[in-house]
Amino acid sequence: MRKLLAVAVIILVGLVAWNYATTGRITLFPGSELTGTDREVENLRVELRKAVELFHRAERDAGIGAVDTTADAEAAQVEVQRIASRFAEVERRSGGAAREGIETLKRELEAAKRVTGVH
């Protein structure tokens, strides 16, 4: 009985961790409470984090192994620019909805632009 309870707890913790990693919210089940705009903003946040990670990886690889990672860095910069243009479109369409998520993404986008050198 204890083993079954321990397995159930591990599964629940794993589910909550997965939901937090993919949605940024601590929930047991991924909610359908997200509006279309909220979902778009969240998808853009995930894509932005991946682009910044690609840029950091390119920097790290260039520093450690003296490998030419110009293509990776440029790809990350292009991705940040693409996300910025999609964000501007979502922000225009939102009409004040999902304000909190939009403001958070705006701050993250500005930080990503500084890090990657995108203007």
What is the per-residue pLDDT for 36? 76
What is the per-residue pLDDT for 79? 94
What is the per-residue pLDDT for 51? 93
What is the per-residue pLDDT for 75? 92
CA count, 13 A, side-chain hemisphere, 50: 13
Q: How many CB atoms lie within 10 A of CB 56?
A: 14
Following DSSP, what letter does each residue of 39-108 receive, concatenated? HHHHHHHHHHHHHHHHHHHHHHHHHHH----HHHHHHHHHHHHHHHHHHHHHHHHHTTTTHHHHHHHHHH
Q: What is the block-wise mean pLDDT of the chain (119 residues), using blocks of 10 residues?
A: 90 84 70 72 91 90 78 91 93 77 90 88
What is the per-residue pLDDT for 101? 83
What is the per-residue pLDDT for 118? 83
